[in-house]
Amino acid sequence: MKSISSKQNAWYRRARAAIHQHDREIVIEGPKAVADAVRVGWRPIAVISDGSSAAEGEVPLDAIVFTRELFEMLAQTRNAQGIIGLFERPIHQAAAILASRGSLIVALDGVQDPGNVGTIVRLAAAFEAEGVLLLPGCADPFAPKAVRASAGAILNVPVAEVTPEEIMASQLPMFAADRAGIPIEPPQRAAILILGNEGVGVSPPLREASTVLAIPISSRVESLNVAAAAAILLARSYVLRIG
Amino acid sequence: MKSISSKQNAWYRRARAAIHQHDREIVIEGPKAVADAVRVGWRPIAVISDGSSAAEGEVPLDAIVFTRELFEMLAQTRNAQGIIGLFERPIHQAAAILASRGSLIVALDGVQDPGNVGTIVRLAAAFEAEGVLLLPGCADPFAPKAVRASAGAILNVPVAEVTPEEIMASQLPMFAADRAGIPIEPPQRAAILILGNEGVGVSPPLREASTVLAIPISSRVESLNVAAAAAILLARSYVLRIG
């Protein structure tokens, strides 16, 4: 089969829209990440390859082959190793996540770095949080950098935008992580854990409505990276929950 | 004073060497990071600014002023916000770190991503590890991306390269983090915690000489990011140590 070389090709345009707008479809990069998604039951809309056979072998699907030049024009391909998968964008509602009464719900407030947002989505999967809610000012969780940091977990963890008012109306106990808080254990069930922007923390109205908890740290540093704080609190909550 | 505009200028060449080779001097980017380093007692060799007065105000030192064009040619300035500080590169020896018998020593094995290495240096400061040892295959901890991720902690935490043989000769108890290990608490004192490359884990000779410990995670994910694993284990060790 002839490799596709035209920027007018419908698959090229669709992959490009998934990378740049990602409002209906998203892109997972790299043979390992695509194979992992397929293994846990996701069905790609299409797999696109640059024709380098080594990469293709890992993906159990026929790929649409682009010329190397066209593939590279999709950008974000530095981590793709010759393979990208096009998947339907998962759509979740904040109300459904807030209605869950199982484990923790993570809410991010002004977390601007897409790598941190993606890493926290991966942590939410690792420690079985109910979902990740994004308050205003967060990076787009479906942008390629965030999807990559999530290591595919973006397909498995409910993620939705939310307003402070919706969170406060949920009646769930709220916990905000902040250096000025008290060093208590994180909640284990049916609660919202709010993590803020590294510079300014959780915004005042939410903070005031929350129990403010701190991770004990040395006076040698000012703060923890927000993804590190999430890792510590979610891991501890999980260990306490599973006993 | 006239702004410096020449690539032949000695300060330009020194800053460039610090960014690219960093074998004697390193660069800390951004007014906040430079001010933080000064606050905890580090004395910059020089502070270089692009002449934008807003950024300079945060740094309590006279800056050498480059034209904006020259400043931008230093690269890595996207995060510098008009200010970089030139500092002496801290030099530590693995033997001195291994001789410490206080808290934990962190050893990284093949951790290739400079952001992860820098984040782990920051965590070592936050949770008072004795130092960070770099086994073969790790990213350069003094490269700008790692320095940035360390949030200045690279100046405060002893970091040195090490061989597997030196680690094994230290007689310190060794613990390797790996999904296939046992879910025990991390060590609290006078021990080495080894964290491996995400793909291949800790290399076999070190692993075989170690107690292999696992962080309990859901079967929904394959693994944790290495910096997330470090955060969880170091935070837990610190809480157990400080009681």
Q: What is the mean pLDDT of chain A?
A: 91
Is B41 a residue whose pLDDT tops 90?
Answer: no
Contact A221 B126 (CB under 8 A): yes
Contact A228 B225 (CB under 8 A): no
Q: What is the pLDDT of residues A4-18, one digit of tens each?
A: 999 999 999 999 999
The CA R_g of chain A, rounded to the nearest whole Å, is: 20
Residue from B112, B220, B226, B237 whose CB has the most chain A CBs within 10 Å, to mutate: B220
Q: Which two tokens stand for residue A91?
A: 């759509």
> Do the Cβ atoms of A78 and A30 come closer than 8 Å?
no
Residue from B221, B225, B242 whose CB has the most chain A CBs within 10 Å, to mutate: B221
Q: Would you tell me how many other CB atoms lie within 10 Å of the CB of residue A92?
A: 15
Contact B217 A119 (CB under 8 A): no
Is A77 a residue whose pLDDT tops 60?
Answer: no
Q: What is the pLDDT of residues B92-108, one digit of tens each?
A: 999 999 999 899 999 99
Query: What confidence score (pLDDT) does residue B78 get?
Result: 67
Q: Which two tokens stand for residue A67?
A: 């010329």
Query: What confidence score (pLDDT) does residue B118 get?
Result: 96
Query: What confidence score (pLDDT) does residue B243 get?
Result: 83
Give me the numbers of helices (H) and strands (E) for chain A, helices first please: 10, 10
Chain B nearest-CA distance from A218, in A, is 5
Is B232 a residue whose pLDDT tops 80?
Answer: yes
Percent of residues, chain A, with pLDDT higher than 70: 95
Residue B58 — very low, low, confident or very high, per pLDDT cuts 50/70/90? low
Residue A81 — very low, low, confident or very high, per pLDDT cuts 50/70/90? confident
Is A78 a residue whose pLDDT tops 80?
Answer: no
Chain A interface with B: residues with Cβ < 8 Å: 36, 40, 115, 119, 122-123, 125-128, 149, 151, 153, 156, 215-218, 220-225, 227-229, 231-232, 235-236, 238-239, 242
The CA R_g of chain B, rounded to the nearest whole Å, is: 20
Is B77 a residue whose pLDDT tops 60?
Answer: no
> Do the Cβ atoms of A82 and A52 come closer than 8 Å?
yes
Q: What is the pLDDT of residues A201-236, one digit of tens each?
A: 999 999 999 999 999 999 888 889 999 999 999 999
Token match 């490359």: residue? B197
Chain A nearest-CA distance from B237, in A, is 11
Residue range B170-191: average pLDDT? 96
Is A53 a residue whose pLDDT tops 80?
Answer: no
Residue B218 dihedral angles phi and psi, to the nearest 5°: -65, 150
ipTM of this complex: 0.91
In this structure, of A147-161, A227-241, B157-171, B202-216, the range with the lowest mean pLDDT score is A147-161
Query: What confidence score (pLDDT) does residue A58 get?
Result: 67
Contact B218 A156 (CB under 8 A): no
Q: What is the pLDDT of residues A115-138, one digit of tens each?
A: 999 999 999 999 999 999 999 999
Residue A150 dihedral angles phi and psi, to the nearest 5°: -75, -10
Chain A nearest-CA distance from B9, in A, is 35
Query: What confidence score (pLDDT) does residue B1 get?
Result: 63
Distance CA B184, CA A155 (A): 31
Is A162 a residue whose pLDDT tops 60?
Answer: yes
Residues of B in contact with A222 (CB under 8 A): 36, 151
